[in-house]
Each structure stands twice: as structure tokens, then as C-alpha cells.
Copies of this chain bind each other. A is one copy, B any other.
Amino acid sequence: MGVTIRALEPADQAAWQELYEGYQAFYGHDARPQAFYDAAFARLVSGDARDFHALVAQSAEGALVGLVHYVFHPSLWREDGVCYLQDLFAAPEQRGTGIGRALIEAVYAEADRAGSPAVYWLTAEDNHAGRRLYDRVGVKTPFIRYNRPA
């Protein structure tokens, strides 16, 4: 597919933000202030092993066409912890080209490297486009999420 998966770098800020705004819009979230993107980006490139990491997909032409954010956190059940993949997004014109799969598999590789190979993610039950991919690269569990009331 002519796409390279690589770590997010400080020079990516504008292109990353454009993609992440697309992600927020896709999920119907309200627009976020610029301070949200600034703070998130600073964390993603901070190198803090306990905070979020990002990988991006770069096209042969140099454009950012996909992103994934993940974090390692403790699990009481596993001493090696778990890897939570929070955000996954491919530019709409890139759908069906394998970018989503490549990003997830790159997180698997990073999780292996970090010694914490148990990767998981959450998705909306009716995210049919996403789930067509997730049913191929992952395993649906019977677990559903409850939140404290707002």
C-alpha cells in the first residue's frame, strides 16, 4: 500500500492535528479547543513511558494518513500490564487500503517490544466499518463498558 508506519515526531503537529480533528468529528464529538490538541500532542511526543504513545501512517507522498494512540497501564491480573489502544483513525479517502490493520499490528509489535503484549481496545457496538477490521485482527470479548454517571 506504499504506506510507512512510524513514531509521531514533533514536526508532525499540524498534520497530526488535522487527522485527529477528523477522528473527533467521525465520532460526533464536540469541537475541542486548540489547548486540547496542544496538550495531547505534547504528551504524545514527551517520551514519558507511562503516558500515551502515537504511531502514524505516512503515505509515499509524505502525507499523514492514519494515527493510533496507545498507553500501557497496570493490570492486577497480569504483572506485565496491558496496552490500551485508545484512538485509531485513517483518513477517509484511505479506507480499505489496510492502514488500520497496519497501525494495529504496529501497536502489537510495540507492545511486544515493551514486554506488555496484551493489547485491547474498545469500540462502539455499532461501529460496523471498524468492527469489520477488528473481527479480523482481534477477538471480540463479551465485555461491555459501564461509566459512572456524569
Interface positions of A (Cβ within 8 A of B): 39-40, 43-44, 50-52, 69, 71, 73-77, 79, 84, 86-87, 108, 111, 117-126, 128-129, 131-132, 134-135, 137-150
In the bound complex, do residue A52 and residue B76 qualify as a contact, i.e. CB atoms below 8 Å apart? yes
- Does B118 lie within 8 Å of A144, measured CB to CB? no
Which residue in chain B gives the minimum CB-CB distance to A140?
B146
User: A87 CA to B77 CA in the complex, in Å?
Assistant: 10
Query: In the bound complex, do residue A128 and residue B129 qualify as a contact, i.e. CB atoms below 8 Å apart?
Result: yes
Q: In the complex, which residue of chain B has the Cβ closest to the Cβ of A24?
A: B77
What residues on B are CB-neighbors of A86 within 8 Å? 75-77
Chain B: minimal CB distance from A29 (Å): 9
Given contacts A43-B76, A73-B84, A84-B73, contact A138 B146 (CB under 8 A): yes
Q: How far is the CA of A137 from the CA of B149 in the complex (A)?
A: 8
**A144 engages B125 (CB within 8 Å):** yes
Q: Among the interface residues A44, A52, A126, A144, which one has the most CB atoms of the partner chain B within 10 A? A: A144
